[in-house]
Chains A and B, each alone.
Chain A
Amino acid sequence: MLKLFRQNLGPALVITRREVRDQFRDWRILFPILMLTLFFPALMNFTAERALRFVENFGAPVIGERLIPFLLMIVGFFPVSVSLVIALESFVGEKERHSIEPLLSSPLSDWQLYLGKLLAAVLTPLMASYLGIAVYMVGVYRKLGWLPDSVLLSQILLLTSVQAVLMVSGAVVISSQTTSVRAANLLASFIIIPMALLIQGESIVMFWGRYQILWWAIAGLVVVTSLLVRAGVAHFSREELLGKELDSLNFRWGWQVFIQKFSDGAHSLLGWYRQVFSLVSREMVIPSILVGLVLVAGIWVGTTQAKVFVLPPELMQLDSLEGGAFQGTDVIRFYSVTGVGSVWLHNIRAIVLASLLGLFSFGVLGVIILMLPLALVGYFMASLTTVGMSPALFFGSFVLPHGILEIPAIILAGGAILRLGATLATPSHGQTVGEALLNSLADWFRVMIGLVLPLLLGAAILEVYLTPRIVTMVLGG
């Protein structure tokens, strides 16, 4: 077992050792790391001390108390941000300088090369980060006598580590799609912007003092990082790395691939529909089941939130439907009768948004967007029990009349979004990433045009003409 482990991991560590040694020979990497490890924590010590004294003058020591752990997180994150630069340099830089080709011609496997480089890009910044955290903690302890509890320290160390791997794995995905450091740096905004938003979110949590939320952040980051690593392994292949010489788009070829998959050899509308049904029954069963489960989870989440955000009973006037049974629900677009076209377009817009977000998050954010209406359903189902309405009656009158078409449409759309997002994280044998993505996109269009849009149109008609009548009938208005 140990021998097998050494045989497989050994070559990867050869790459790691070389790259780390190379980093220590490059002052452009060493200098910022040293600055962020030694000077920056000292600066943060100074800032924490000054800030604490300042806010104490105004009787607001809580700000200072929250600032110290927040700075601990920042001190840990800054050196880790260098890993993005190292990763881009290590992956696409080697490609640009052609030094990757001798490595690709060696007996190393794709994943050994990937792992070796991933470790090399993560190791130095992470060590610098831990050192920075230690320097900061020593300083804060000496000046203010503060030490983080073991849970908070574990959270910060875990966050820092996962963020480093996240940035590097993201950088690999970017690197595999570009041939120059310049192009990769431009595309790196796809990592930097979400990371900046993430840090802002974490900062809010830290100042709010709800540190347990950080566990959710860590869990979410672990999931996204795993998907990115999976995508990185899938894309870091010899074929992808050397298969193209220029970052050029071949629209003619792209269109040919897309249209070929979209038509799937059908010569008539009936034939095309047969292919769409075949696609759904062959490849969309598992993603659709997954989405179905997520939607059920959405209803459950909604019901739990009804206890947190309680709706005032006076808002739920079930005895005066003409005056608006649920005042304010139109604002959140849960229930609005504004015409078939409007309802249909609104739903299409939501699905397009979900698809776009899904494309950049391996389908995850897309499915979360689709989960929201069902969470609202769950929320109202639970809220209405307080005014004596049964959840089943609510679901049967308010949701089911049009939901009978809309819910299957959402499940199918979600399945298509998951498949589209998963394409990026799945190795596509015999296909380039572009080819696989175009094929998935064509499948997405087939499901959308063939099934989802007609179902949503039907649902919109029912929502406008049938649901209000049933609601009125059931509630006896």
Chain B
Amino acid sequence: MIITDDLSKNFDSFWAVDGVNLRVMPGEVLALLGPNGAGKTTTVRMLTSVLKPSRGQAQVAGFDVVHDAQKVRASVGVLTEQHGLYGRMPANEYLDFFGQVYGMDFQTRRARSARLLSDFGLVMDAHRKIGEYSKGMRQKLALARAMLHDPPVLLLDEPTSAMDPESARLVRDSIRELRSARRSIVICTHNLAEAEELADHIAIIRQGVIIASGVTAELKRTLLGPVEYEVRFGAPLPAETISVPAGTHIVELGADWFRFSTIKPSETNPILLRQLLDQGFAVVSLREAPRSLEQVYLQAMSQVPEVEPAYA
């Protein structure tokens, strides 16, 4: 579980993170989105008790990040933006080293290392030096390191960057598994499709301030307006022939499709569909118009203009 209240960090006179409030319950995934330098890494570092907050507080896995720093660090698995692996070390030795650092006994760290190396398809390369690994393999090893001590909280910075689609899928499946195992997970990513796929909650941070946060659907509604629906036809048809029932409003019209908004879709959509079929139109589909997280992100960014950095 992660709970932050007015979490802020100031470097010299610059507020890198300013008043961040987050809540990630066990079994939830939060995607922390934002441009480079927005304050994501600083937030993660405060949540791992690596940096002390200048203001506000945070609880991670039930421990205070300032007063129980060591317990917080023992309860968190971190995938850092730069993996920071030791190039001259073989992967199995590397995991064993971190197992010792986390105070795991020999049997446990051996079993966990073997399991993670197997899960991430690194068993065959376990004795090779990390310096000889590809980018994707390093990413997987770093992720294995983060999961090694089976932490209740995971903070993952760009978990699938530099990975081929197959490996990325493997990692996403692992994250889903961890979510099912009631872990609290924060993902910092620029991959919005991935964030949308994995996250229960989204928080968009800019210049250290959370400018939008909530469940993805809720954010879409808030930032992009009410849900729109799209009807597609088997063949082009003249625009003037389309009539819609009361309570619906056409917002966009194409050659063989149109998009409409409605306040009560459960009432109006069946009527509209029946009406179109009765008129003899070859309706191929009626569905909610796809609205991506990217649109939400860009909308959030455009709504809050960039300002001069806040100085204390």
Contact = CB atoms under 8 A, between A and B. Distances in A.
A107 B97 contact: no
Interface stretch (B70-78, B285-293, B300-308): B70-78
B73 A22 contact: no
A256 interface: yes
Contacts of A434: 12
Contacts of A103: 101
A18 B51 contact: no
B258 to A, nearest CB: 51
6 pairs of A and B residues whose beta carbons are closest in the complex: A98-B82, A99-B84, A107-B74, A98-B84, A105-B78, A253-B12
Given A105-B50, A244-B11, A250-B12, A14 B97 contact: yes
Contacts, number: 78
Contacts of B73: 105-107
Given A99-B85, A250-B12, A253-B13, A239 B98 contact: no
Contact of B80 (A11, A15, A105, A244): A105
Nearest to A22: B88
Interface string B38-49: 000000010011
Contact of A97 (B84, B97, B100, B142): B84
Contact of A242 (B51, B74, B101): B51
A263 interface: no
B13 A242 contact: no
10 contacts: A94-B84, A99-B84, A101-B82, A102-B78, A107-B71, A107-B73, A107-B74, A239-B52, A243-B11, A243-B51
B13 A105 contact: no
B103 interface: yes
B140 interface: no
A434 B12 CA distance: 9
Size category of the binding interface on chain B: 20 to 34
A15 to B, nearest CB: 8
A127 interface: no
B273 interface: no
Contacts of A94: 84
Contact of A25 (B48, B71, B88): B88
Given A11-B100, A99-B84, A107-B74, 6 more contacts: A98-B81, A98-B83, A101-B50, A242-B45, A256-B13, A434-B12
B97 A18 contact: yes
Contacts of B98: 102, 106
Contacts of A104: 50
Interface residues of A, number: 32
A109 interface: yes
B89 interface: yes
Contacts of B70: 107, 109
Given A26-B88, A97-B84, A101-B82, A238 B51 contact: yes
Contacts of B81: 98
A369 interface: no
B139 to A, nearest CB: 13
B128 to A, nearest CB: 14
Interface in A1-17: 11, 14-15
Nearest to A100: B84
Given A238-B51, A243-B51, A105 B88 contact: no
A11 B101 contact: yes
B201 interface: no
Interface centre among A94, A103, A243 (most CB of B within 10 A): A243
A108 interface: yes
Interface in A85-144: 94, 97-109
B221 to A, nearest CB: 37
A206 B49 CA distance: 51
Contacts of B145: 102
Contacts of A244: 11
Contacts of B89: 18, 22
Contacts of B74: 107
Contacts of B13: 250, 252-253, 256
A252 B311 CA distance: 11
Nearest to B78: A105
Interface in A216-239: 238-239
A49 B142 CA distance: 56
Nearest to A256: B13
A99 B86 contact: yes
Contacts of A100: 84
Given A26-B88, A109-B70, A14 B101 contact: yes
A105 B11 contact: no
A107 B11 contact: no
Contacts of A98: 80-84
B100 A14 contact: yes
Nearest to A430: B52
A435 to B, nearest CB: 8
A108 B48 contact: no
Contact of B84 (A25, A102, A109): A102
A184 to B, nearest CB: 18
Interface centre among B48, B76, B84 (most CB of A within 10 A): B84
Contacts of B101: 11, 14-15, 103, 106-108
B151 to A, nearest CB: 10
B70 to A, nearest CB: 5
Contacts of A252: 13
Interface string B151-162: 000000000000
Nearest to B80: A101
A11 B51 contact: no
Interface string B192-220: 00000000000000000000000000000
Nearest to B97: A18
Nearest to A244: B11
